[in-house]
Amino acid sequence: MKVTKAQAQANRAHIVETASALFRERGYDGVGVADLMAAAGFTHGGFYKHFGSKADLMAEAAACGLASSTARSEGVDLAQYLDRYLSREHRDNPAAGCTLAALSSDAARQPDAVKAVFAEGLEQLLETLQAADGPADAVDEQAQRARRLSVIATLVGAITLSRACPDDSALADEILEACRDRLLPPQ
What would the pLDDT profile of 13-68 be if each residue is shown by its tens digit?
999 999 999 999 999 999 999 999 999 999 988 898 899 999 999 999 999 999 99
Give the whole-number percent of the chain exceeding pLDDT 90.
Answer: 73
- Based on its alpha-carbon atoms, the radius of gyration of the chain, rounded to whole angstroms, reads 18
- Average pLDDT, rounded, for the chain: 92
**What count of other Cβ atoms lies within 10 Å of the Cβ of residue 143?**
10
Residue 174's identity, in one-letter code, is E
Classify 98 as helix, strand or coil.
coil
The residues near 112 (Cβ < 8 Å, ≥ 6 apart) are none
Considering only residues 101 and 74, tell me which one the structure prediction assigns the higher pLDDT: 101
Q: Answer yes or no: are the C-beta atoms of 68 and 13 closer than 8 Å.
A: no
**What count of other Cβ atoms lies within 10 Å of the Cβ of residue 30?**
11
Give the whole-number percent of the chain exceeding pLDDT 70.
Answer: 96
Could you give the CA distance from residue 22 to residue 35 in angstroms, rounded to a whole number?
A: 10
Q: Answer yes or no: are the C-beta atoms of 66 and 124 closer than 8 Å.
A: yes
Burial class of residue 96 (count of CB atoms within 10 Å of its CB; 0-12, 13-18, 19+): middle
Domain of 57, in residue numbers: 5-183
Could you give the CA distance from residue 152 to residue 146 in angstroms, rounded to a whole number?
A: 10
DSSP state for residue 185 in the 8-state scheme: P
Domain count for the chain: 1
- CATH at residue 91: 1.10.357.10
Q: Is the pTM of this model over 0.95?
A: no
